[in-house]
A and B are shown apart, each in its own frame.
Chain A
Amino acid sequence: MNGIALTRREFLSSGGALVVSFVLCPRAAAQAGETATRSAEAKLPGSLDKFPMLDSWIRIGADGSVTVFTGKGELGQGIRTALQQIAAEQLAVPFASIAMITADTQRTPNEGYTSGSNSMKDSGTAILNAAAQVRELLVAEASRRLGVAADQLVARDGAVHAPGGKRVGYGELVAGQALHVRAEVQSRFKDAGTRTVMGKPVQRVDIPAKVTGGVAYVQDLRLPGMVHARIVRPPQFGAKLKSLDPGIAEGMPGVMKIVRDGSFVAVVAEKEFQAIRAMRALSDRAVWDVGALPPADVYAQLLQLGSEDKVIHERNGASLGAMTHEATFRRPYQLHGSIGPSCGVALYREGKLEVWTHGQGVFPLRAAIAEMLKMAPDTVHCIHMEGAGCYGHNGADDAAADAALLARALPGTPVRVQWMREEEHSWEPFGPAMVTKVRAALDRSGRISAWEYDVWSNTHSTRPGKAGNLAAGSLVAVPFAPAPAAPIPQPEGGGDRNAIPLYAFASARVTSRFIPTMPLRVSALRGLGAYMNVFSIESFMDELAAAAKADPVEFRLRHLEDGRARDVVAKAAQRFGWTSYRRERDRGRGFAFARYKNLGAYCAIAMEVEVVRETGEIRVGRIACAVDSGDVVNPDGIRNQIEGGVVQSLSWTMYEAVTWDARRITSRDWGRYPIVRFPAVPASLDVDIIDRPMQPFLGTGEAAQGPASAALANAVADAVGVRVRDIPLNPARVKALLGA
C-alpha cells in the first residue's frame, strides 16, 4: 500500500455535494502537510487556511484513541490544555482521552512561531473548526451505517448515539482510516450553552509532572550516553577570538573534546560540572578582539542613527494645528530573563540530526540549522520540548544551534548544551530600547482635538530562519549573514505595535521611525513595542486628563467608541471601587487600558500604590484587571496569564534595565539585573473576565504588559505628583524627581 492513496469515497449527500470522503492513505503522505490549493475559495479559519486537511490536526485510531496535532508549543501559557479542551468539546470525547502532539517538524503542521498571543487565534481556531467538522463527518457516517437520520443522532463520549440505545464508537466509524478530508469554510459548532469542557477552569495537564520531578523540560531530557557541553562565550556579540589555549583544558577530568570553529568555542565533557570547569579554564585564557559597545546615553545615539519613517495613521492630518502638551518617554533595553537558562540537546547519526529545543518556532529553527550545517532541511528534525518561560525570542534557538553544531562534531553521541546564567543575561537578544514623543491639544470641552505621536525603535524580531540570526551562525569561521533588519508591518506592528491609539481624536498623526542599525542585539520581547507605546499613550492620557481637570477613567471613556473597550474600562473601575476611592497621604491610584495590537484582547487595569518619599520606593497595593479575550476556553488560564503579565510588567517597569561598559554587558546576573521579589509583589490582584461566547479567540498572553506599566506610573503621579516618563521607575529615579 506504500505510497499509494487508496480512496473510498462516500457520497452521502442530498443535492450531490460531497459531504464526506474518507481517504485511506499512508501516514507519510498525510504528514507531508498538503498546503492549500489556493483557488478562489474563501479563507479557511485560523491555521486551517495553510493546512486544510482535517487529518493534519486530528486522527482517530481504530481503537477510538484521539490524537490532536498543533504546530504551537507549550511555553507555560497553558496552550496545550486549552487546545485539548477545544478538541474534546467539539469532538465530544472525554478530555483525558486526547493525546496532544505539539510543535515537531516531522509530525505537526508548520504554524510558524508560538508568539504574538496568536496561538488561540491560529491553532485554537483551526482545531475548533477541524474538531467540529470531524464530529459532523462521524455523525454522517454513523447515520449511513445505522440508517438513522443525522439529526436524530448525538455525539457523546467518543461515540455516536442513536435513539433506543444503539451506539457506534468513533474508532469503529473510521476503522483506522485517516480523516483525509479538506476542511470546509463553515463549521457547525456545539451550542455554547451545552459546553462541558470549553469555558471551564480545567486543570493544566502539565502541572502534576512539574511539581513531582517528572521529565518536564528539555533541561530534563537525559538520553543514553548523553554528554555535556559548555560554550566559551566571547565578552560581547561580534567579538573575534584571537587566541585560545586548549591545552589548559585537554587534560582535565572528563573532557572529551574542545570544538573550535572560528570564534565559536565549546568544550564537551562526560559530566556537567567537568564541562563547566573546563569552560572556565578556557575562558580565563582566551583572548578576544572586541568592538565598542554603545555609549551610556544610548537614546541620543539611537536618535542619531537614522530612521526609516512611515506615517502609519493619519486622521485630518492637515488640521493638527498648534499643540499645547508634549512629552518624551524612554524605555531601556530589557531582558527576557528566563529563570532557566537556555538549553538544547542534539544527536547526529547516519547523516541525520535530531534537535530538542524550547525555541518558539521549530520549522524556522530547522531552516536556520540546516543552513548553518549545510544539511538538507529534511535531514534535520526539530522537536519542541518545554523550557522555562521565555516571553519571546531568548537564547533558546541559539542553544539548540550550539547543540546541533557540537552533535555534528561527535556523531552518535547526544550532546546537551546548557547556557550559564551570565551567558543568558548577556547573550540573549534584548527587548529593544525605545523613545516615543507625543504632542496633543485639548479643545474647550476637554476633549483631545489633536494628537501627534512618534516612535523610534529597532526591529522587534531577529528570529532565526536564517543561520546568521543564530549566535553560533555569527561566530563560526565563515559567518553567515543575518536576515536584514526589517520592521514588522501594521496592523500587528513591531516597534509601532499599539502606537495607534484606540481613542477617537478629531485629528491625529502617528509616525513609526524604524532604526535599522542595532547597537545591541535585540529581538522580540513579550508585547514588542506595545509595552512602550501603551506606557507612553496611557501615561499621556492621564497627563491630559489632569490638564482637562477630568477623572482619568471618565476622560478615557469620553474618547472611546468601541463598546468592548468601554466594557473592560468600566469593569476594572467598578472592581477597583474607582468612584468611591479615598486618597490617603502618599498613596494614589492609576488606570490604564489597551486593546493588544488593536485587534487582540482588551485589558484595563486599576492599581493603587504607596510611594515612600524617603527612599523613592513604590509599594504596589490592590490591583483590579478586566480582560476580554473573546470566547473563553479556560478562564483560569486567562487569569493566570493576566496575573503573570501584570507582575512581570511591574518588574520591568519598576526595576529593569540592561547595563554595559566599554567591553561587555555588565548586567550579567540577578544581582546586577534585579527583578521583582516576593516582598514587592502586589498586595492583591483580581482579574475579571468578560466572556464572549462564540466570538473569535483573541489571545491573552501579552495583553497586560502595556496597561500594567502605565497604571503604575499613573498611580505614582497620583500619589506624589511626579510624572516618571523614563523606565524603570526605580527608587533612585523616583526619589530624584521627588527632590527636584
Chain B
Amino acid sequence: MIAIEVNGKVHEVDADPETPLLYVLRNDLALNGTKFGCGLGQCGACTVLVDGKAVFSCMTPISTLGGRRIRTVEGLGTIERPGPMQRAFIEEQAAQCGYCIPGMMMRAQGLLESNPAPSDADIRKALEPNLCRCGTHMRILRAVGRAAQLMKVKA
C-alpha cells in the first residue's frame, strides 16, 4: 500500500510503486479528468499539479509522491460549483473535443498561482508543453486570460 494525497484527501493505493500516477488517478481513484495522451511526456493531456507545479502524471511513478500534494482538475471545482478556471473555460466555450482541456487547465492553474497577471506571451510560453489537436488554442488563451480576471476578482 502506498499513500498519496490527492485534492486534499489521503488515499491508500494498492499498486506497484513504479505505476505512473496517471493510471492510479484514473483507475484506482476513478478520477476521469486526467487523460492519457501519449505516456511519453510529449502532449500534456495528463498534466496535474504536484506541490503547485505542473507535471506529466504519465511520467511520474507513485513511489516518488509520498508526502506531496497532488491536484487534479477535480480539485478545481465540481460540475455544480465550478471553480474560476473551469468557469472561464465554460464561459469562453474553450473546447472542441475537450480531451486536452483538463491538462491545459492544470498547467494554466499552475501558471496563475505563480504569476497572477500573465501576458499573452507568458500564457503561450507556459502552455507550450500541452498539445491540442482540435485547434482550440485561441479560445484556450482567452479562457486562461479570463480565469486570471476571475481569480483576481475573487482575491
Q: Which residues of A contact B (CB under 8 A)?
A: 75-78, 201, 203-204, 206-217, 219-220, 222, 228, 253, 271-274, 276, 337-341, 386-389, 391, 418, 420-421, 636, 640-641, 643-648, 651, 669-671, 675-679, 681-682, 684-685
| A76 to B135 alpha-carbon distance, docked (Å) | 11
Shortest CB–CB separation between residue A238 and chain B, in angstroms? 25
How distant is the Cα of A679 from the Cα of B131 in the complex, in angstroms? 11
Give the Cβ gap from A359 to chain B, nearest Cβ, in Å.
Answer: 14
B4 within 8 A of A: no
**In the complex, are the beta carbons of B101 and A210 less than 8 A apart?**
yes
Contact of A213 with B89 in the complex, beta carbons under 8 Å: no
Interface residues of B in 1-37 (CB under 8 A from A): 15-16, 18-20, 23, 26-27, 30-33, 35-37
Q: Which 3 A-B pairs have the closest CB atoms?
A: A76-B97, A647-B135, A213-B33
CB-CB under 8 A from B99, the residues of chain A are: 76, 210, 217, 338-340, 387-389
| A211-B105, A678-B137 given; A219·B35 CB < 8 A | yes
Q: Say how far A388's CB is from chain B's closest CB, in angstroms.
A: 4
Partner of B45, one of A215, A339, A648: A339
Contacts A339-B99, A675-B131 supplied; 7 other A-B pairs, CB < 8 Å? A211-B82, A219-B35, A421-B37, A646-B135, A675-B133, A678-B123, A678-B130
Chain B: CB-nearest residue to A275: B23
Contact B90 A211 (CB under 8 A): yes
Given contacts A206-B98, A340-B37, A670-B40, contact A640 B133 (CB under 8 A): no
Known contacts A219-B36, A681-B124; A386/B74 CB under 8 A: no
Please state if B96 and A679 are interface contacts (CB–CB under 8 Å): no
Can you list 23 A-B contacts with CB-CB less than 8 angstroms, sorted by A residue number? A204-B93, A207-B93, A208-B79, A213-B102, A214-B79, A216-B32, A273-B19, A339-B97, A339-B99, A339-B133, A341-B36, A391-B133, A421-B37, A636-B93, A640-B139, A643-B139, A647-B137, A647-B138, A670-B43, A675-B131, A678-B127, A678-B128, A679-B128
A210-B95, A272-B27, A341-B36 given as contacts; is B135 within 8 A of A645 (CB)? yes
8 Å CB contacts to A: which residues of B53-100? 72-74, 76-79, 82, 86, 89-90, 93, 95-100
Q: How many inter-chain contacts with C-beta < 8 Å in the A-B complex?
A: 188
Asked if B131 and A670 sit within 8 Å, CB to CB, the answer is: yes
Please tell me if the beta carbons of B23 and A648 are within 8 angstroms of each other in the complex.
Answer: no
B154: Cβ under 8 A from any A Cβ: no
Chain B residues, CB < 8 A from A651: 135
Task: Please determine whether A643 and B136 come into contact, CB atoms closer than 8 angstroms.
Answer: yes
Within the complex, the shortest CB–CB distance from A483 to chain B, in Å, comes to 28
Q: Which residues of B contact A (CB under 8 A)?
A: 15-16, 18-20, 23, 26-27, 30-33, 35-40, 42-43, 45, 72-74, 76-79, 82, 86, 89-90, 93, 95-102, 105, 123-125, 127-128, 130-139, 141
Are A211 and B102 in contact, CB atoms less than 8 angstroms apart?
Answer: yes
**Known contacts A76-B134, A271-B27, A421-B39; A215 and B32 CB within 8 A of each other:** yes
* Whole-angstrom CA separation of A677 from B89 in the bound complex: 19
Determine the residue in chain B with the shortest Cβ distance to A424. Answer: B38
A679 with B82, Cβ < 8 A, contacts A389-B134, A421-B39 known: no
Contact of A271 among B15, B79, B100, B101 (CB under 8 A): B15
Contact in complex: A76, B98 (CB < 8 Å): yes
Contacts of A210 in B (CB 8 A): 95, 98-99, 101-102
Q: Specify which chain A residues have a CB less than 8 angstroms from the CB of B37 in the assembled complex.
A: 339-341, 388, 421
Q: Which of B89, B95, B96, B135 has the most CB of A within 10 A?
A: B135
Provide the bound-state CA to CA distance between A535 and B16, in Å.
51
Q: How far is the CA of A667 from the CA of B59 in the complex (A)?
A: 21
CA distance A129 to B102 in the complex (A): 38
A389: nearest residue on chain B (CB-CB)? Answer: B97
Most buried by A among B30, B33, B138: B138
